[in-house]
Amino acid sequence: MTGKTTPQQRRARWLAPVIVWGSLSVGGLIVLAPPLWTYALGEPTVARVESCETSVHVDQHGNGHDETTCHGSWTAGGARRSGTIDGAHRGLVHQDVRVRARGDSAATTNTVGRSLAACGIAAVIGVVAHIACYRALAGGARR
């Protein structure tokens, strides 16, 4: 090739980063939005962590990770409520914790910290993927 880029290569160079960032954004919203929504719009209250369950998920390659879900009760809007408490852990069972509650879910301040950390990790992955896509597609144009 003479070094000129074709319209398809230019489009691919533009489209690949859009796909990378779009996928990360949509995935992040699906995972992070519900607990953040609860924290942002919930009523400040105190919840009692009543129990926590840990489940282990193993993928087809034998890699596993555990996920802990804690349940508790609180008073919001003058009514007694119960449900999941995002950001709680086993060490808080039978203890009171400050939360923001909305409906049948509550979130601790740990929710915000975890979400910010996940966003930071996703941003690093996005930058690396963006650069890799751009270099791969730009390298193809130079050959």
> Per-residue pLDDT tens for 54-109?
988 787 788 877 888 999 999 988 899 999 998 899 999 999 999 999 888 898 88
How many domains in the chain?
Answer: 1
Task: Report if residue 80 sits inside a domain.
Answer: yes
The CA distance from 34 to 79, in Å, is 22
Q: Is 125 domain-assigned?
A: yes
Which structural domain, as residue segments, surrounds residue 122?
Answer: 7-142
User: What does the alpha-carbon distance between residue 70 and residue 77 come to, in Å, rounded to a whole number?
Assistant: 22
The whole-model pTM stands at 0.60
Q: What is the pLDDT of residue 130?
A: 76
Q: Is residue 110 part of a domain?
A: yes
Has residue 14 been placed in a domain? yes
The verdict on residue 15 lying in a domain is yes
One-character DSSP codes across 48-110: EEEEEEEEEEE-TTS-EEEEEEEEEEEEETTEEEEEEEET--GGGTTSEEEEEEETTEEE-HH
Residue 1 lies in a domain: no
- Flag whether 92 is in a domain: yes
